[in-house]
């Protein structure tokens, strides 16, 4: 189970030490059976495995080409095409604002983690 994933764009997990807990968002480009997905964001692609055993989805039929989704999992390979073992997948198609906000959200989270931006606690 992923307990404390950081938000990443696909390009940002390349060559990171593994295992790495990740939170990614992207569009499904390809499915291989019901257990493997190729997911892309604006910057690259990632292979997502163990989808059938991942929680979060009420309907596994939403795992199809064109679905925008959130993936929580563990990056087990970060060289070449990164590979993530999914622990949770959430269909975000009904929340289009999530796609448009993702890049900014990842950058802001990184600034908070680096101590360069303090969260607004008002």
Domains of the chain: 6-105 (2.40.50.140)
Model pLDDT, residue 12: 94
* pLDDT reading at 60 higher than 80: no
Q: Which of 20-29, 79-88, 112-121 has the lowest mean pLDDT?
A: 112-121
Alpha carbons 17 and 14: distance in angstroms, whole number:
9
Strand partners, 22: 6, 73
Q: What pLDDT was estimated at residue 68?
A: 95
pLDDT above 70: residue 58: no
Q: Structure pTM?
A: 0.88
CB within 8 Å of 42: residues ≥ 6 apart: 9, 103
Q: Is the pLDDT of residue 42 over 70?
A: yes
Residue 1 pLDDT grade (very low, low, confident, very high; cuts 50, 70, 90): low
Q: Percent of the chain, pLDDT > 70? A: 98
Residue 119 pLDDT > 80: no
Rounded Cα–Cα distance for residues 80 and 66 (Å): 23
């Amino acid at each position: 189970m992923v307990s404390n994933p950081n938000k990443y764009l696909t390009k940002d997990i390349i060559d990171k030490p593994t295992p790495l807990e990740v939170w990614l968002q992207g569009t499904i480009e390809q499915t291989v059976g019901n257990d493997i997905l190729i997911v892309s964001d604006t910057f690259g692609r990632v292979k997502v495995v163990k989808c059938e055993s991942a929680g979060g989805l009420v309907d596994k039929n939403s795992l199809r080409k064109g679905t925008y989704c959130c993936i929580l999992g563990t990056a087990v390979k970060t060289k070449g095409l990164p590979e993530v073992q999914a622990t949770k997948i959430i269909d975000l198609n009904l929340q289009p604002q999530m796609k448009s906000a993702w890049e900014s959200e990842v950058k802001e989270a990184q600034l908070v983690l680096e101590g360069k931006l303090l969260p607004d606690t008002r």
